[in-house]
Structure 1
Amino acid sequence: MEQGAKVTVQYNKSVTALESFAQEQDSTRLHVAQADLSLESSVRSLFMSATSVLGPVHIAVINHGNYIDEDVMLKDMTLERWNASMDANLTSAFLVAREFLKGIEKSQKTENLSEVERERLDWSSIVFVGSTAGLFGEANHSDYAAAKSAVMYGLTLSLKNEIVKIAPRGRVNCVAPGWTHTPKKTEMLKDPDIVYRITATLPLKKIATTYDIAIQIALLSSTKVSGHVSGHVVDVAGGMEGRLLNMREKA
């Protein structure tokens, strides 16, 4: 928004976190829409709404997901939990990316499309948001790790070669955050043992802010800055070299 973009922001169950942000923005450049991204019809309605309010969508930041807090080894994991993770983190990414690509193709066939909009569509971009769980795995959360890895590598690397068949200068990239300081993690990050475990394999020895992640997404979305970058996974994790698996036992 600070760079002048028109933005559609999607939420699923709660709009509360968006309300104060939306009130501070130019309402002619911000569209807030509800959608359950695991449902095909809901994703289709989301893109129809976004296009009707703000015009053709030429950048998609696919950053939704769901991390189930309960630790469960794969041998004890229910199919219900596995499917829930796949729906929330992988199938939904597929549905959003597919509708985005179909929307580009449809918009390009619009007769009264301006040259500026046509050029923007030619330079369309997808930025997925993965996770270091998809890079290093995560014990007791193999469902989440598998879904994110599929997005980061299977989808990103496949779609970078598909998008150019629709948008000649189109790009697909992915940002993979590590631990990030969000309101949900505030209490957890007051525990020094948890902070040590998180930062032990990070040369920068600090936890990311949401701005650290957002600025990388903005850079990859930008045609001017990243117009020749496609098919890359950029990890934003302070130089993370894996996970600390064993702590020194306390006396």
Structure 2
Amino acid sequence: MDLGLKDVHALVTGASGGIGYAITKLFLEQGALVTAHYNTQPRGLKDLQSMAEWQEKLSIVKGDLAKEADVELVFKNARTQLGDVTVLIVNHGIWPENDAPLVDMTLEQWQNTIGVNLTAPFLITRAFLRQLREPSSNPANLDKVAVILIGSTAGKFGEAGHIDYACSKSALQIGFCLTLKNEIVKIAPRGRVNAVAPGWVSTPMAANAMQNPEIKYRALATTPLRKIATPEDVATQVAVLSSAKVSGHVTGMCVMVEGGMEGRLLNKMEDLA
């Protein structure tokens, strides 16, 4: 299906990971121009860029998005290579694997997670809005402007042992999304802001946890579809919401991509004995 994304410039943060990579690849297949951001290693992005049909459509940039200077450089490189960004996909994030209830969590872990998962989205989105307000010689198509925020089921149900992650995602997919959708139209009258909140996804970040049968069982126990999502499941929803052609009157929504998940199992059998 043609989503109307041909030649639309999309910036994808955290594009070297499972979901970000799938989003990047799908947007390229839809004919979009893509700036793919990564923080440490580009991984498979270099392979995508080596493909003849995408060499002129894919730009790869590195940066720590929790730093203002890096964010400015990412946008400078994106605009120089492919013109103003029309669609921003805020996908990057961290999920500390160690279980740490609030009573035992260090301030360092809390601040680091909030910095990556919430402050960095603030900085990259602010830079995006400023770019829209001060367009270059190759301006974005304001009728196709969209921001997609990648949240999590943790932002809806919470996640014991990961209050830092849950709070960052809840803030992003609710407070951030619902506020920004009212503000963005002051700059781009047809600009839209939506969120996609996956449950467990088969990505490298979740690989270790999914090797634990107990964790996998608890992840699927309240999920009617009884499957772990693929990165492509999430990428497809991102593409649909990014499309002004398909979702042009959809804004302020959080689409849950979690197989119908109804909540979390809180107690084991031995806890109830």
TM-score, length-normalised on structure 1? 0.92
Q: Kindly provide the amino acid, as one letter, of the partner of residue 60 in structure 1.
A: L
Matching of residues 1-251 of structure 1 within 5 Å = 1-24=28-51, 26-107=54-135, 110=136, 113=138, 120-186=141-207, 188-249=209-270
Residues 188 and 77 of structure 1: is their aligned pair in 2 closer, same or farther, counting only changes over 3 Å?
closer
Q: Contact (CA 8 Å) 2:196, 2:255: kept in 1 or not?
A: yes
Higher relative contact order, structure no. (Cα contacts within 8 Å, ≥ 6 residues apart): 2
SS in 1 for 2:61: strand
Residues 134 and 184 of structure 1: is their aligned pair in 2 closer, same or farther, counting only changes over 3 Å?
closer
Q: How far 1:3 sits from its partner (Å)? A: 0.9
Q: How far 1:184 sits from its partner (Å)? A: 4.2
Deviations 1:141-179 (A, max 9, x none): 101111111101111000000000000100000000000
Residues 133 and 187 of structure 1: is their aligned pair in 2 closer, same or farther, counting only changes over 3 Å?
closer
Question: CA separation in 2, counterparts of 1:86 and 1:184?
Answer: 17
Residues 79 and 189 of structure 1: is their aligned pair in 2 closer, same or farther, counting only changes over 3 Å?
closer
More divergent stretch after superposition (177-186 vs 194-203)? 177-186
Q: Kindly provide the amino acid, as one letter, of the partner of residue 49 in structure 2.
A: A
Unaligned 5+ segments in structure 1 are: none
Q: Contact (CA 8 Å) 2:71, 2:127: kept in 1 or not?
A: yes
Unaligned 5+ segments in structure 2 are: 1-27
* Identical pairs, percent: 49
Q: How far 1:215 sits from its partner (Å)? A: 0.4
Q: Contact (CA 8 Å) 1:123, 1:168: kept in 2 or not?
A: no
SS in 2 for 1:28: coil
Question: CA separation in 1, counterparts of 2:208 and 2:72?
Answer: 37
Question: CA separation in 2, counterparts of 1:84 and 1:94?
Answer: 15
| Length, aligned pairs only | 244
Question: CA separation in 1, counterparts of 2:266 and 2:225?
Answer: 19
TM-score, length-normalised on structure 2? 0.85
Q: How far 1:187 sits from its partner (Å)? A: 5.1
